């Protein structure tokens, strides 16, 4: 998991990502028999609720995971690491469960105040997952926290830039936007594969290519024929 999670151990800009030091949350949970398994069971229930009610659609987390794993393979990650990422990526928006109903279940473009509230889902998601010991959930916590950071530093919650952002989050960021473009929403229609690719690679009124890791965009272009064939 080290390559995916790098630079794991705290972003250094105030988010307070939990670590593994003596007495830290990972070590405390490890000393409580059965708690880790119960945590994973509870998490499965939360994820089921999220996928059933989120306007992003019930299959969005799984599709994001599949695309992210395909992109990860272009970085030399082995099958086990790609599978780990595919599973962890399903947790990227789990923090939405802690959002007010009118924000979480929005059916329209959010106004600035609601958008600021929605941005808190990154911190809330990391907090929900903070005490896990299972590697896929730990990676999910990191992805939940950082998948809206941007290569050019314009993202949130910490304004990280470049390789300050963990590789897993850089991969999920592209996969998330790709699937959002391909999906129908109450306030927009679905784009076909070619149009989604064009918007990511060339930009539009909401997307700038500079927000993504150029190496991940190159991987997206290489895998585009395979991604286009993924079931929807």
pLDDT tens, residue by residue, 7-48: 644 444 444 444 444 444 444 444 445 555 666 677 777 777
Burial class of 78 by CB neighbour count within 10 A (0 to 12, 13 to 18, 19+): exposed
Residue 4 is predicted with a pLDDT of 83
Does the structure show a pLDDT above 80 at 227? yes
Is pTM, for the whole model, over 0.75? yes
Distance between CA atoms of residues 211 and 12, nearest Å: 20
> What is the DSSP secondary structure assignment for residue 212, as one 8-state letter?
S
Residue 32 Cα distances to 40, 82, 144, angstroms: 14, 29, 25
Q: Given a cut of 70, is residue 215 above it in pLDDT?
A: yes
Neighbours of 69 (CB within 10 A): 22
> Is the distance from CB of 93 to CB of 140 less than 8 angstroms?
no
Number of neighbouring beta carbons within 10 Å of residue 196 = 22
Q: Which fold has domain 43-228?
A: Hypothetical protein af1432 (1.10.3210)
Token pair for 75: 């970085």
CB atoms within 10 A of CB 194: 10
- Give the residues across from 185 on adjacent strands: 188
Q: Evaluate the CA torsion angle 226, 190, 60, 202 in order and state its sign.
A: positive
Residue 197 pLDDT grade (very low, low, confident, very high; cuts 50, 70, 90): very high
Strand partners, 188: 185
Q: Tell me phi and psi for residue 134, to 5 degrees.
A: -60, 130
HSE-up (13 A, CA, CB side) for residue 56: 23
| pLDDT tens per residue across span 90-143 | 999 988 887 776 665 555 566 778 778 889 999 999 988 887 788 998 999 999
Cis status, amide bond into 126, omega within 30 of 0: no
Which class for 79: exposed (0-12), middle (13-18), buried (19 or more C-beta within 10 A)? exposed
Average pLDDT over residues 202-212: 96
């Amino acid at each position: 998991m080290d390559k995916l999670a790098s630079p794991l151990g705290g972003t250094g800009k105030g988010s307070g990502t939990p670590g593994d030091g003596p007495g830290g949350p990972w070590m405390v949970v490890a000393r409580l028999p059965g708690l880790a398994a119960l945590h994973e069971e509870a998490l499965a229930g939360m994820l089921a609720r999220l996928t059933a009610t989120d306007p992003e659609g019930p299959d969005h987390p799984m599709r994001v995971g599949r695309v992210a794993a395909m992109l990860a393979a272009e970085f030399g990650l082995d099958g086990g690491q790609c599978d780990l990422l595919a599973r962890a990526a399903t947790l990227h928006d789990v923090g939405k469960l802690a959002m007010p109903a009118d924000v979480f279940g929005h059916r329209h473009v959010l106004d600035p105040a609601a958008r600021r509230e929605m941005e808190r889902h990154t911190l809330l998601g990391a907090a929900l997952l903070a005490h896990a010991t299972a590697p896929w959930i730990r990676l999910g916590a990191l992805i939940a926290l950082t998948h809206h950071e941007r290569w050019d530093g314009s993202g949130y919650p910490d304004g990280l830039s470049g390789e300050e952002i963990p590789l897993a989050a850089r991969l999920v960021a592209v996969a998330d936007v790709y699937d959002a473009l391909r999906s129908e929403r109450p306030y927009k229609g679905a784009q076909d594969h070619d149009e989604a690719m064009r918007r990511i690679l060339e930009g539009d009124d909401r997307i700038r290519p500079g927000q993504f890791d150029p190496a991940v965009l190159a991987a997206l272009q290489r895998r585009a024929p395979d991604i286009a064939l993924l079931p929807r």
